[in-house]
Structure 1
Amino acid sequence: MIKAWAAFEAGGELKPFEYDPGPLGAHDVEIEVEYCGICHSDLSMINNEWAMTTYPLVPGHEVAGRISAVGAHVSKFKVGDRVGLGWHSAYCNDCQTCLEGDHNLCSDVHHTIVGRHGGFADKVRAQATAVVALPDNLPSETAGPLFCGGITVFNPIVQFDVKPTARVGVIGIGGLGHLAVKFLSAWGCEVTAFTSSEAKRTEALSLGAHKTIDSTDKNAIRGAKDYFDMVISTVNVELNWGAYISTLRPKGRLHFVGALLEPVKVNILALMDQQRSISSSPVGSPAVIGQMLEFAARHDIQPQVEVFAMDEVNKAIDRLENGSPRYRVVLKR
C-alpha cells in the first residue's frame, strides 16, 4: 500500500489516504519520495479549476527521491538511484513527436496528477522514460521544483535557440520568474526584470538580473522600445501586452509560460511590421530536463524554497495560496 495525502473534494483539505498501486509495470519504476514541491498547478487540480480532476486526488508533480523498485524491462535505473519526476509520468514512445525526442508534445502523454496519483506520498510510480536522474551535486531538497517550474522557463531557451548575447525581459519575479532570471543570467543573456515591487526589484538584481523596469510605469516601458530579443511572461494575469510587444526588437518574441486563462489581445500590425511573434510552451522533454539539470548543477542554480514536513501539507498549501513564499514550497517526507 502507498500512503499519501489526498483531496476528496474541490477545495477540500488534504487527508491521509492509502491505495494499492497493483503490480509494477514492466516499463515502470517506483520512487521512494524524499521531497515534493507544491506548484500552483497542484492548487488548480485540488480546486478543479481545469475541470479534469478526479477525487480522491493525490497531488504532487515535483518529486525528488530514490528508486525503490524497477520493472522487468527497465535497464536505465537501479534501486537506490536518485531521480526526479515532473508533470508527465508516461508517453506512448511510438508517435512521431516521441521518436523525434519531443516526448512532452506526445498526444497520448500521461500527466502525473491527472487520472493518477502523484507525489504527496511515500512512493509514486511512473514510466521509466519520464523519470530523470539527478546529478550528484544537485541537492534533493531543491531539485523537485526544477522538474516543473525550472523546466518551464528553461525549455524556451532551448526551443528558440536563445543566444548568450540576447537581451531578455522577464515579467514577474515569483516561482517561475526567479528561476528564469537565474537560468538566463547563467546562460549569458542580459536580463531585465519587469516588476511592480521595490522588494522584488532588489531581489531580482541579487538573483542575476542586470536591470529592472517598473511594470507600472508606462514611461519606463516606453523607454525600452525595440530593445529585447525575447520577453518571457511568467504571470497568469492579463496585462497590456501591446506595451510589451513594443519593447521587442525586429524578429523579437513575446513568450508565455504562465498559465494565462484570458484571451491575449494584440494588434497584429504591431507583430507584422517588425516580424515579431507570440508563442508559448509547456514543460520540456526528458532529454531537455536532463540538459537543464546538468546546467543547473554546473552553475549551482537552485530554486529558493521553503520546506514543510509532509504532514504539514495543508499549512504548506495555505502558504502558497494565501502567503508570499520565497519562492517555491517543498514538502519533506
Structure 2
Amino acid sequence: MNEVVHAFAAPSAGAPLEPFEYHAGPLLDNQVEVAVTHCGICHSDWSMIDNEWGMSTYPLVPGHEASGVIVKMGSQVKGLQIGQRVGVGWQSGSCMACPQCMGGDHNLCPSSSATIVGHHGGFADKVRCDWQFAVPLPDSLNAADVGPLFCGGVTVFNPMLQYGVLPTHRIGIIGIGGLGHMALQFANKWGCEVTAFTSSESKREEAMKLGAHHVVNSRDSDAMAKLAGSLDFILSTVNVPLDWPVILSALGPKGKLMMVGAVLEPIPVPAMSLIMAERAIGGSPIGSPATIAKMLEFCARHKIAPQIETFPLSKVNDALAHLKAGKARYRIVLENDIAG
C-alpha cells in the first residue's frame, strides 16, 4: 500500500516550512511505522533546514525527537507490538554487522542511518525507522516530554554513562540551556555534587532548582580561579568558544572535559595542562538504543523531564521563529494537529 504521509517540509535551504505530502512506499520487513503524536524541535533540525552541514536534501521534513504509537510492523520486527508507545531519535537504523554494532555501540556505526538525512522525519503524522531504533516508553513518562530526551537528553546522559561518572564525583555543567538543563537533573540524581557554569546571572536560581549545588559565573575570573583543581568531570553543552585553559584548570587530577556542544572553532589545548595532571578531553554523540532505554528508565525512576513549551504542528514556523529568537525555555515540542 503506497500510503500518503502528511507533513511539513522545507522546500529549499532556509525556506519556511510548508504543508507537504509524500508516498511512504512499502514498509520494509525490518521497519516499524509510528503515528506521531509529538515531536521536539532541536537545533539540529534548524541546521538541516538551513543546510549548514551540507547534507540536506529537499524537500526536507525535519523532526528527530518523535513520540507516538506503532501502527505498522514489518515481518522481521521483534519485541514490539501494534499500539505500543515508542520514541524515535536522531538515528533510524544501523548496519547491525560492524564491530561497533556488534559491541552495542550502534550510535558509532559508520553506516548508520539518520532519521532526517535522506529520509523524511517526524514533523509529520507518520515516521518510519528500523525496529531496533523505536525505543519503548515507560508508562509513567508523558508523551509530550519524552521527545527531547531522544536527542538532547541522551546527548548529555551518554557521556556520564560511558565515561564512568560516579556518585562521588564533583561535576560541572557548562551552559544552562536546551542540553544543560537536562544535564543538571541527570547529574543531581546521579548523586554528584553539581556546579553549573553560566554567563547569565538570571539563570542562577533556576539552575539551583534544576539540581545545581553551586552556580558560577563563567565570566568571573576570581570565581573561576577558586575552582582550580576541584572538579572530576566537566560537561560542556555550549557551541561557542570559551577560555579553555581556565576551564581545564578547574579539573583535578585525572579529570575529564567532555564536549557535547558543537563548537565550530578549534579548541586550543595546552598540552602540559593535560600531561601533568593526566587530564583528558573527549566528545560524545547520541547514545545507542540500549542507552536510550536506560536513560528513559532513569527518568521514570527519578521523575526527570525536560522543561518544554508546546506549539501545534500547524504552527511550526512560529515555533522555529521562537527558537531562533532564543526565547525557548528550554525545549520546544510540536503537538500533531494535522490530518492523518
Q: Which residue of 2 aligns with 1:310?
A: 313
* Counterpart position of 1:262: 265
**For the residues of structure 1 that align with 2:263 and 2:283, how far apart are their CA atoms?**
10
- Does the residue aligned with 2:147 lie in a helix, a strand or coil? helix
Q: How many residues align?
A: 333
How far is the alpha carbon of 1:323 from its aligned partner? Answer: 3.1
Q: Which amino acid aligns with 2:23?
A: D
Instruction: Choose which of 50, 67, 71 in structure 1 pairs with 2:53.
Output: 50
Task: Report the CA distance between 1:32 and its aligned residue.
Answer: 0.2
Listed one character per residue, the Cα deviations across residues 221-250 of structure 1 (whole Å, up to 9, x for unaligned) are 111000000111000001111100000000
Partner Cα distance (1:253, 1:162) in 2: 10
C-alpha displacement of 1:183:
0.3
| 1:126 and 2:129 aligned | yes
| Residue 182 of structure 2 corresponds to residue 161 of structure 1 | no
Match of 2:226 in 1: 223
- Structure 2 residue corresponding to 1:287, chosen from 282, 285, 290: 290
Matched, 1:140 2:143: yes
| Alignment partners' CA distance in 2, 1:261 and 1:131 | 31
- SS of match in other structure, 1:242: helix
Gaps of 5+ in 1: none
Q: Which amino acid aligns with 2:103?
A: E
In the alignment, the residues of structure 2 paired with residue 71 and residue 305 of structure 1 have an alpha-carbon distance, to the nearest angstrom, of 33
Distance 1:87 1:260 in 2: 19
Amino acid aligned to 1:176? L
Listed one character per residue, the Cα deviations across residues 81-113 of structure 1 (whole Å, up to 9, x for unaligned) are 000000000010011110110000001000111
| 1:28-58 C-alpha deviation (Å, 9 max, x unpaired) | 0000000000000000000010111111000
> TM-score when scaled to structure 1?
0.99
The answer to whether residue 159 in structure 2 is matched with residue 151 in structure 1 is: no
Query: Given residue 259 of structure 2, which amino acid in structure 1 is its aligned partner?
Result: F
Q: Which residue of 1 aligns with 2:43?
A: 40
Counterpart CA distance in 2 for 1:75 and 1:283 is: 23
* Per-residue Cα deviation, 1:145-186 (whole angstroms, up to 9, x for no partner): 000000000001110110011000000000000000000000
Match of 1:198 in 2: 201
Q: Superposed, which structure 2 residues align to 1:90-129 within 5 Å?
A: 90-129=93-132
1:205 maps to a residue whose letter is M
**Structure 1 equivalent of residue 255 of structure 2:** 252
> Is residue 181 from structure 1 mapped to residue 184 from structure 2 by the alignment?
yes
Give TM-score scaled by structure 2 length.
0.97
> Which residue identity is paired with 2:158?
N
One-letter code aligned to 1:12: A
Map of 1:214 onto structure 2? 217
For the aligned residue pairs, the C-alpha RMSD in angstroms reads 0.6
SS in structure 2 of the partner of residue 117 of structure 1: coil
In the alignment, the residues of structure 2 paired with residue 168 and residue 301 of structure 1 have an alpha-carbon distance, to the nearest angstrom, of 18
Cα distance in 2 for partners of 1:123, 1:101 equals 28
- 1:297 equivalent to 2:300? Answer yes
Give 1:130 shift. 1.1
Deviation of the 1:291 alpha carbon = 0.2
Cα shift at 1:75? 2.2
Larger displacement relative to structure 2 (57-66 or 322-331): 322-331
Aligned partner letter, 1:210? H
* Alpha-carbon distance between aligned partners in 2 of 1:93 and 1:263, rounded to the nearest angstrom: 33
Distance in 2 separating the partners of 1:194 and 1:133? 34
- Rounded to whole Å, the distance in 2 between the matches of 1:175 and 1:54 is 26
Structure 2 Cα separation of the partners of residues 223 and 249 of structure 1: 12
User: Match of 1:243, as an amino acid?
Assistant: V
SS in 1 for 2:139: coil
The answer as to 2:275 corresponding to 1:278 is no
Report runs of 4+ in structure 1 exceeding 2 Å deviation: none
Q: Secondary structure at the match of 2:117?
A: coil
Question: What amino acid does structure 2 have at the position aligned with 1:295?
Answer: F
Displacement after TM superposition at 1:77 (Å): 1.1
In 2, distance between residues paired with 1:206 and 1:75? 41
- The CA deviation at 1:9 is 1.0
